[in-house]
Every structure is written in structure tokens, then in C-alpha cells.
Structure 1
Amino acid sequence: MILLAAQGKTDKEIGTDLAIWRGTVARWRTRFIADGVTGIEGDETRPGRKPKISARKVKSIVTLTTQQRPDNATHWSTRSMAAVAGVSAASVRRIWQAHGLKPHRVESFKVSNDKHFVEKLEDIVGLYLDPPEHALVLCCDEKSQIQVLDRTQPGLPLKRGRCQTMTHDYKRHGVTTLFAAMNTLDGGVIGQCQTKHRHQEWLSFLRKIDRNTPKGKELHLIADNYATHKHPEVKAWLARHPRFHMHFTPASASWLNMVERFFRDLSENQLRRAVFRSVPELISTIEQYVDKHNRDPKPFIWTAKASDILVKVTRARSKLNKMQSV
């Protein structure tokens, strides 16, 4: 079109030669005059199809989803919302996706009411982001009441078109408790399974940590506020072993302890779908998992600053206070 126009032809003549509407020729010539070659390298963006659902309707669906509950359920489904809003379930799904809403999901959450939350938060995050020299930082905790569960009949194996199955009921053959200390530097784990989780077992685990760490290193242990960790006999033992330094997480803030991530991986990868017929079998499986983990450990990298966490916690606490005052 541009070359023909340069030869002096009119829009109508060019349209006839190229079998297109002369208005199209005029539009492309105008774009070339305005922007040069870049103006004709591709089509201009188009506004697209007008939405069938108005912005007001979308806003009402989002408001209903976030601020109200259906009459006969704890949360909305696409079908229940579609029935109330007068749109299709597929439209509700698209609106939820566009606004990042997932009513079918729920996550556990609790704001810590610890009076010393800020000090403890800064202390522990400081150990993660700027660990002391000539020292090890160990995240310690117990995974208690790990059940020895045997299914009442064998499950069907995985195959094409069918997932693996397991019975809903089970036989319980006992429990064990895993004490674990994860090195934040390299991700290595010191583990010990015991029948109970009293202060006696905690002391036994502290002695194992003492045996399995370099003698010249200071040890900074991060643990929760479980009474076992603060028993008088434990305090006396710690006083006799001054290289041990305890750092306690705030109440209801176990997410600050990175060993919880290791426990989650253990449960998901090894325990949740397994079948055990005795306590020794369960303990052997856990020990094998820890040994394999330690052959090629990967540390969990903490990146959040204490100040950023504090902003989120303050915002959450403010929101909760408003909800409770209503």
C-alpha cells in the first residue's frame, strides 16, 4: 500500500488493486505518516470483546465472597455463588482467579500474644540472618506422638486412570517421638527417637547434641516454650555446659523454628502414606530418612527481616482487634 501510494495512486485505486476497502488503505497510510515504518510493522491493539458481566456485578461477587457466608455452608463454592449472583459457575471461577480468591482453602494462623514477641523475634531472626562466628545455630524441637499405623487391608497400587488407594481405618501399634536439631548452616540433622518426651528425654537429646558437635563451638539452640525445655534439671545441666545458649520462640510462633520445615517434609515424604506394623519398624524408617537426608543436606534459607515480619504481625493483630470489637 505504501509503495503504491508513493507512485501517486489514490486510496480508491490502491484498494481496487489489492482488493481491500479504501478505508483500510487510508488508515495504514495515516499510521505510516504518523509513525513511519514502526507504525505499520503490526496491527494496533484492539479493545477486545466487551465483558458480558458488568464491573458492578464483579464487585458484588467479590464482596459476597470475602464478607459473607452462604446460608448452609461455611464457605462459597462456584455453584452456590453462581446461584446467588445469577451468573455461571465458570464465570465465578474466572472472577475468583482474577482476584486471587480461593474460598475452598483454609490455612492455620494465630497471632502471638507473647509480651516479649518483638525481642524474641529479633533475637531468632538475627541468628538466621547474621549468625555468630565460631558457633552453630541449631533449630530444635520434638515431633511427638508419631503413630505406628497399619491399614486394615492392603491398598491398590497406582495405575493409569486410578490413584493409589488406602483404607480409611487403621490399626494403631504405638507411638514414638522424634527429637531433632537442624544445623542452619548446612541443613544437617541430629535425630533421636524416644518413647516419651519428658525432660529426661530432652536431657538425653542434649547430651547427644553435645557428643555430635565440635567441642570448640558455641551452640545456640532455638526451641519453643514447652515446659520440658525449661525444667529445673535442664537448667542445671545447661549451667554446667556453658557453650549451650537457649533461644526461645515467642508463644504460638513455631513457624519461627526452621526445623518445623524438616518435620513437614518427613511427614509428607515418608510417614503420611506409609504402613507400619511395629514401633521399631517406624523408628528404623525415620532413622533411614534422617541418614539419607544427611548424606546431601540442603539448608533452608531464611530471608525475611524481623522488621518486615513485625509489620505483617501488627497489621494482623489490628485486624483481629477490629473483628473482636464488633
Structure 2
Amino acid sequence: MEADAAGCDRRDPLLLIGLPALPVAAARPIILTAAERHRLKKAAWGHKTEHRARVRAQIVLRAARGRSNTRIAVEVGAHVDTVRTWRGRFADLGLPGLADRKRPGRPTAFTALQAAQVKALACQVPAEAGAPLSRWSCPELAREAVERGIAPFLSASTVRRWLDQDAIKPWQHRSWIFITDPDFRPKAARILDLYARTWDSGPLGADEYVISADEKTSIQARCRCHPSLAPGQARAMRVNHTYGRGGALAYLAAYDVHQATVFGHCEPTTGIAPFMTLAAQVMRQEPYASAKRVFWIVDNGSSHRGKAAVDRLVTAFPNAVLVHTPVHASWLNQVEIFFSVVQRKVVAPNDFTDLAQVGDRLRAFEDRYNATAQPFQWNFTTSDLDDLLARIDRHTADHPEESSVAAGSMINTRRTSGADHLGRRPRGAPEEEKSRLRPNAWTAITAGDGSRTTQLEEGPHMLTVSDLISPAAFLSIVGTVQDTNPGMDGGMAQRIANEGLKFVVACGRMPDVALAPSRVVDEGWHALILHTKVYEELCASLGDFVHHYPGYAPGNYDPLILVRTQDASVLS
């Protein structure tokens, strides 16, 4: 009989009453491949891994070393039953077994079709829906959906969750503007070439400089009726709302693009004389006075507009070259970026006793800026410009009803060459076929105007389904994909529906080419076919009905059929 130091019997209790001991289950053996070990180590020691995934990975790694469940439980700080559970699941299912199983939860109260209808409503302008609103909000969408009978009840939080699945934000808006300058492309290209230190296809010399100049008008001296309070702990700076007006002045600045040097002065107002004073301030000092050429980039303001301004500047300074930006394209002028810095760091929140204090602070900031400034990192090139203009041309051609009369000048802005609008031709595709397969991608020039700076944003590159079918029909197709694949998130379902739509377009525009979808794309095609009316109208717009054949003989297709299908989808 075994006994410990205190004389207690340490044998199994069942043996003491004459019964055989229960068998102890052996721990499940774990054998890892190199790939599994790499992924588990990354999950076990990664800084961004969630805690439960980290613990499960550590359990499996220790189990692969042959350690017992009890020892692993002590080392990872978990219960032995937890260790046994995840060890067994990995032994049965591998890495997928470490994920949480689906929980039953409460049954869904809404169908995928209802969610799609709400998303389609959010993609409409409220005025079109008959609502006296400028923009939708989640509570307003929930109210409108209930009034339309889409759902008997609906909360704003549910609407917000649905919209978040597809990044739909109807409460936001962006402004845009059509290009009206018929010479937009050559004018913009000259400026972009100057930023890259080239002119007329040749590099600039060491004694050639690029100056970006403009005026920041109406800087007011607002004397607050009460002194501003400095920020403190958990307290922002306090500025009194009421103020007395002390007048306004204009700040003229010339920015050396490649030297990051600013020259400026204040004037009571803008005009030809103040601008020429700024030009003299720069051109009468070195190295600009003895430079071979000094390029002045300006917008089309009244102080320096037209050929008269060019002649006036050249007469005063023969080595100066005045370069105008296109109309409504001040975002190409880098001095606007400097003005935005001035607005944020010097002017706002605008608390000055008089105009003299405004001028003193602007001059002091100019010296401070020149001491440490670095050139702006300008990344927009002529290639980006050609891509942008090509997408605008396609949008104008495909949506004439959305274009203004002024947009007609955009057609003349593209570069004419043997290649397509993007400056490159698809491999093996003639130009006429490329134009026939050009996608109906849409874009808009988006300009956000704040503190004298304007930034141009580019539209999407890929085919958008809104050009082929209505948003409501597309969202309904996405809902069908989710219904046939329970648990699939909205983003993946939308991608599958989009790929299925692109496949049908490729088949309709290339009927003589043998194409076949992958299993995932076929899922989106099936969902599209179920919407018979939408599918019929889509095929009619393509000029040929795309039939679906459930099976095929392998001999009818070559091994590269999927590769050819992918290439065709990209072209179309």
C-alpha cells in the first residue's frame, strides 16, 4: 500500500473499495506541418492578435510538443477543459477548428430583400423619394422604410448596421465642377512638368527656378470682445464668439517650389500694382535676378490674367516666364498649399487687435517657415492627369444626360496618340476593339474648398454596376447571393454579384470567344439569372442574349479558358 509522509493512502479511491480504476483518456496527439506551425506562431505571438486566438494558438503549439493538458492549462492560464476542447478541435479540423462555431442566436427579424430595399432607398436623393430633406440620416431612413411598408418596424441602429456593410453614407456629400477650359490638358501638363523640373521635353538647368504665386484676400482683423483663454487640462482653447471688425488686408506670396522658400508682403487690396510689387521683391534679389529663366505659375485672377499680364512681367523682368493654370484649376498651384498652412497656423481662430498685428504675425511666420520648410511632396503627374481625363471622357460619353453644356470641352482635353485615353493599349487588342470594350466607369471631379486650398480627387477605375443595372436591382441580387450562402457578409456577396455581372458583360461583348466562369463567379451569375427581367434587359443592352449551359464537355474548352475569361472581364 502506497502512503505519503502523513500516512494517507494515495491510491485511486475506487481501489480502496475493491473496484477497478477508471481508464485515463490519453491526450490527442498533435502533428503540425511547417505552414501550420508558421501561422500558429504568428497568431500566438503577434501584437495585433486578439486574446482568445492567441491562447488557442499557444495551446496547440504546446500540445505539438507532447505536453499534457494539465501542464498546458497551467502555462497558458486556462482551464484544463478549455485546453482539451481546443486540442481536440485542432486534431479533428486543423486550423479552421480554432475559429468560433456559429451560434444559433436570435432568429433574424428582417430578410435580405428588406435590407437591399433600404440600401436602395439610401442611394436615392431624398427629393426623388418625395421626402423634404437634403440628405438621409439613419433615423429618417428607418422612418421612410416603415412608411413605405418595407418593414413593419425598423430601428436606426439596424439601418446603420446595414449601410455600414457596403460603406453607404448618404449623410455625406462632396462637391464637383466640370472642366470648362478647352486647353485644360496642355496647360495642366506644362505646370506638372515644371514641378518635375522639365520644360518643352528638356530638363531645367541649375540656374532656372519655378515660382508659385497668388494672393490670399480678405484676412480680417477680428478683435474679440473678451480675451481668449489658453488651453488647459481637458480643456480646449476658448475664443469669444463676438468680435469687433478691424478691417481686412491681402497677403501676397511667391513660393519657390523646389527651394521651399516663401516671399510675401501685405497690401490693403489686390491688383496689378501689388502683384508687380511682389514680382519685383523676388526678381530683384539673387539668385533670381541673374537666373536664366524664372517661371511664375499663377491662376487666372484679375491681377495677372491674360497676355497683357505676360507682356507686363516680361517687360519688367526679361528672364521671367508667366505660366497660367487652367480655368478653375487653382489646385495645381502649390502656393495654395502654403496658404492653407497659413490659415490653420496663423489666421484661425482670428483674434487680432488691428491690421498691424496681422501683418506682423504673417511676416514673423514667414521667417519661421523658411527656416525649416521642405518642398511639398507633389505626386500628381502627367500620367495621372491622362488617366483622370480619360475617365472623364468616358463618363461624358456614357452619361450625356448628366453632363452640362460646358462639359463638351472636356472631349478636347485628352491627348491624341496611337494608344487609348490611358496612354496604353491592352495586349493583343486592336484600337477599335478596345474602344468597343471600354468600361462604363464613371467619375466626377471632386473639389473641397477650404481655407483657399482646393484638392482634386479621382473617381474609381473599375466597372461600376450602377452603369449597367439599377442600384435597387443590384442590391436585390446581392441579397439573393446571401440567401443561397447563409452567413456570407455583405461585402463578399457584393463582390460575387459584381463579378457575375462583369462575366455576363464579357460574354455579351465577345460572343465568338469561349468563356467560362469560376465556381464563385458562377454563383453570382446564377443570382443574376434569377432576376429574369433585369437579366433580359441587361442582355438586350449588350446586343446578344447570354445563355447558361449547366454542363459542358471538357474537350470543348482549352486549358486557358479561365485565364482568357479573366482577361475579357478586365477589358469589359
TM bracket (short chain): 0.7 to 0.9
- Residues 283 and 317 in structure 2, CA contact (< 8 A), matched pair in contact too: no
| Cα gap change, 1:80 to 1:164, in 2 (>3 Å) | farther
Distance in 1 (CA, whole Å) between partners of 2:113 and 2:196 is 47
Does residue 133 of structure 1 match 2:205? yes
Match for residue 165 of structure 1? 238
Distance in 2 (CA, whole Å) between partners of 1:292 and 1:87 is 57
Does residue 60 of structure 1 match 2:117? yes
Aligned amino acid, residue 177 of structure 2: K
- Residues 129 and 303 in structure 1, CA contact (< 8 A), matched pair in contact too: no
Match for residue 110 of structure 1? 177
Counting only pairs closer than 5 Å after superposition, residues 1-326 of structure 1 correspond to structure 2 as: 1-3=27-29, 29-31=91-93, 39=94, 43-44=98-99, 52=108, 54-69=111-126, 71-85=131-145, 87-131=154-198, 132-134=204-206, 135-160=208-233, 162-214=235-287, 215-230=290-305, 232=308, 235-313=311-389, 315-316=391-392, 318=395, 321-324=400-403
| Cα gap change, 1:79 to 1:40, in 2 (>3 Å) | closer
Mean alpha-carbon deviation: is it higher for 72-81 or for 93-102?
93-102
Distance in 1 (CA, whole Å) between partners of 2:87 and 2:357 is 81
Please say which structure displays the higher CA radius of gyration. 2
TM-score normalized with structure 1 length: 0.79
Aligned amino acid, residue 285 of structure 1: R
Distance in 2 (CA, whole Å) between partners of 1:314 and 1:219 is 32
- Residues 203 and 234 in structure 1, CA contact (< 8 A), matched pair in contact too: no
After superposition, give the CA deviation of every residue in 1:77-128 in whole Å (9 maximum; x if it has no partner). Answer: 2322233345433333344444344444444432220011011111111111
Distance in 1 (CA, whole Å) between partners of 2:193 and 2:310 is 25
TM-score normalized with structure 2 length: 0.47
List runs of 5+ in structure 2 lacking aligned partners: 1-26, 31-79, 146-152, 199-203, 405-572
After superposition, give the CA deviation of every residue in 1:269-322 in whole Å (9 maximum; x if it has no partner). Answer: 221213112111100111111111101012111112223234335545736853
| Cα gap change, 1:19 to 1:148, in 2 (>3 Å) | closer
Aligned amino acid, residue 220 of structure 1: F
- Residues 121 and 250 in structure 1, CA contact (< 8 A), matched pair in contact too: yes
- Residues 220 and 245 in structure 1, CA contact (< 8 A), matched pair in contact too: yes
User: Which secondary structure state, in structure 1, belongs to the residue aligned with residue 160 of structure 2?
Assistant: helix
User: Which secondary structure state, in structure 2, belongs to the residue aligned with residue 67 of structure 1?
Assistant: coil
Aligned amino acid, residue 176 of structure 1: L
| Cα gap change, 1:47 to 1:219, in 2 (>3 Å) | farther
User: Which secondary structure state, in structure 1, belongs to the residue aligned with residue 297 of structure 2?
Assistant: strand
User: Which secondary structure state, in structure 2, belongs to the residue aligned with residue 2 of structure 1?
Assistant: coil
After superposition, give the CA deviation of every residue in 1:62-91 in whole Å (9 maximum; x if it has no partner). Answer: 333332226232112232223334543333
Mean alpha-carbon deviation: is it higher for 153-162 or for 189-198?
153-162
| Cα gap change, 1:19 to 1:227, in 2 (>3 Å) | closer
- For the aligned residue pairs, the C-alpha RMSD in angstroms reads 3.3
User: Which secondary structure state, in structure 1, belongs to the residue aligned with residue 123 of structure 2?
Assistant: helix
Q: CA deviation at 1:157?
A: 4.3
Equivalent pairs counted in the alignment come to: 304
| Cα gap change, 1:158 to 1:267, in 2 (>3 Å) | same
Aligned amino acid, residue 141 of structure 2: M
Distance in 2 (CA, whole Å) between partners of 1:19 and 1:280 is 77
User: Which secondary structure state, in structure 1, belongs to the residue aligned with residue 327 of structure 2?
Assistant: coil
User: Which secondary structure state, in structure 2, belongs to the residue aligned with residue 300 of structure 1?
Assistant: coil
* Larger RCO (CA under 8 A, 6+ residues apart): 1
Distance in 2 (CA, whole Å) between partners of 1:233 and 1:306 is 26
